[in-house]
Amino acid sequence: MRFLTTFIYVSLFAALGGTVSQSAEPPNIILILIDGLSRDSVSCYGAKQATPNIDQLANNGVRYETAWSMPACTPTRVTLLTGQYPFRHGWTEHRNIAMQEGVGFNGERFTTVAKQLRDGGYQTVIGGHWQLNDLVQQPDALQQHGFHESCVWNQFGTEKSRPLRHKADARLHINGKREKVDHETERVNSYLIDFTVQNRDRPFFIYYQILLDGGPQGKTQREVNKLPSDKETQHADSIKRVDQLVGNLIRAVDTNGLREKTVIVLAGKNRPAIDNKIKNESTSPANEKLSDRAVHVPLIVRAIGMVDGARVSHDLIDFSDIYPTFLELADLQAPDHLVLDGKSFVPSLRGSGDPYQKRSWIYSQLGETRMIRDWQHLIDTNGSFHDLQKDPMQQQKVSPLDKIAPGRRQRLQMILDRFPKDTANPFFNDR
């Protein structure tokens, strides 16, 4: 069953009054995914700490107020890359393949959005965090998944072969080779900047994954010793540094004449547990992951020529939508055999008011717990029903005095019941 039509970004922009030319060259696409960046961490979403570069992105694009990731790290990544829900691709729990099972994400079984863009004429690169394959056992995994080039953190391998990125001798995996660096985070950032310059005359796709609170990546011991001791200050410093990294890449795009030719998507991925510790909020790990607050993420899109100036949208978006959106941007069609659960939000970027072009619900899953939510309510397979506006941590029953709740519950339950009860086998150890 094909649940959702392909969803994709904002195909491009001719400078003709903000209209999109069907004959125009497809845009460059940059996806910046920031692990642990919650809405509470971004000033344009109301945070006290300044994030000027991310805010500037929003000032020239669309800031989504109703976007959601999956409740755990790995399901979010695989959903983004495949355009499929966890029950279909099988990755329902957080799994650091390099540290646990072994080989992981199968390049023959899955057709990623990067592979589609590469086959459609894009130059493709991944920078930062990967986590889905053991690159010691599978050194060609990133190429199989559609990336011409790669510059990723060395979070892979067995105990014997794992120097790890938090050490002063941190190494990067650059196009299949391991490289010792002093400042790993900066090296990834500069690599991607160089990539934009080298490929300025042809369409490119950048998948940039940043860890917010991932430790002192590539820092010397002297630098590590100078880090603040309290978690709140460390977290604030991490946000500031990530904002700088984002700004570096955006400026490289703009100063090299690529501003009007490049769509930039920035998204957070899961609320970090440290947010609860800083705010002295005590919740169980399960509640943290399943709560709406944990997966209600920032999403900002800059598409010059399609979006003129700052706009706030309350259209529903989830991470399965990224795959079809990027295909639409690139004017590409998914192969007939490929099932995509996402829905393009290009109409949303254009400011369409047609409800038939947009979502009216969001699906998410953690383990065997499945959830359907809309703008206000959520129901799950455990029988729980919550008002997310009043109870984002999902700890209270809906009031019996709520007159719209019964009808809303029935509608969401009917949607949830349409999905298959079984979950695919992810085949972590396929070789």
The tens digit of pLDDT for each residue in 107-149 reads 888 999 999 999 999 999 999 988 888 887 788 999 999 999 9
Number of domains in the chain: 1
User: Whole-number mean pLDDT of the chain?
Assistant: 83
Per the model's pLDDT, the better-predicted residue between 404 and 98 turns out to be: 404
Identity of the residue numbered 355? P
Examine residue 386 and state whether it is found in any structural domain, yes or no.
Answer: no
Examine residue 278 and state whether it is found in any structural domain, yes or no.
Answer: yes
Tell me the pLDDT tens digit for each residue of 59-97: 999 999 999 999 988 899 999 999 999 999 999 988 767
Examine residue 207 and state whether it is found in any structural domain, yes or no.
Answer: yes
Q: What pTM did the predictor assign?
A: 0.87
Examine residue 36 and state whether it is found in any structural domain, yes or no.
Answer: yes
Examine residue 94 and state whether it is found in any structural domain, yes or no.
Answer: yes
Task: Report, as an integer, the average pLDDT of 384-397.
Answer: 88
Tell me the pLDDT tens digit for each residue of 140-158: 999 999 999 999 986 544 4
Residue 354 has pLDDT above 90, yes or no: no
Q: Taking the mean position of all CA atoms in its chain, how far away is CA 234? A: 23
Examine residue 268 and state whether it is found in any structural domain, yes or no.
Answer: yes
Examine residue 378 and state whether it is found in any structural domain, yes or no.
Answer: no
Q: What per-residue confidence (pLDDT) applies to 218?
A: 44
Q: What per-residue confidence (pLDDT) applies to 145?
A: 96
Domain range for residue 256? 28-364
Examine residue 327 and state whether it is found in any structural domain, yes or no.
Answer: yes
Tell me the pLDDT tens digit for each residue of 15-45: 333 433 344 789 999 999 999 899 989 999 9
* Class of residue 284 by CB neighbours under 10 A (exposed 0-12, middle 13-18, buried 19+): exposed
Instruction: CATH number of the domain at 84, please.
Output: 3.40.720.10
Tell me how far apart the terminal alpha carbons of the chain are, to the nearest angstrom: 28
Residue 265 has pLDDT above 70, yes or no: yes
Q: What per-residue confidence (pLDDT) applies to 99?
A: 61
